[in-house]
Amino acid sequence: MKEARLHRLALRVYYEDTDFSGAVYHASYLRFMERGRTEMLRSCGLNQGALMAGQEGEAYGFVVRDMQISFLKPARMDDWLEIETTLLALGGASLDLQQIVKRDGQILTKAHVTIACVARGKPLRLPQAVRKALSQS
């Protein structure tokens, strides 16, 4: 891969995403980042539902193997957020990503995430089609 690939996803904060104070509950950021990763893969032509159903050959999927996350500032109900997902590196069976949650250009949360490719509960080397899709996009 020649350079980092950046994907952006905009989303609104709803009541269900917040805690009693109106701030986004910490676990909601994990859901926001999952959506960002899913849409980044989709933008490369990789539909996780089809991959897990085996519509592209062997059935496989992606799981979070490691995540380091920093919560810097709170988001609030009704905020528009931008989830930036950057593909940093392709490993043998994994992807390293940086994810940043922003509001009006201000960084609220950032994370380094490693997702692993798995089939039948075991690590699987990234299929060539995945490597090609991620490298060309």
Catalytic residue, chosen from 17, 19, 78, 96, is 19
Beta strands in 3-105 (DSSP E): 5-12, 61-71, 80-90, 94-103
Is residue 19 part of the annotated active site? The answer reads yes
**In 3-state terms, what secondary structure has residue 3?**
coil
**CA–CA distance, 73 with 6 (Å, rounded to integer):** 22
Q: Residue 61, Cα to own-chain centre: how many angstroms?
A: 13
Helices (H), the chain: 26-43, 48-52, 128-136
Which residues carry out catalysis?
19
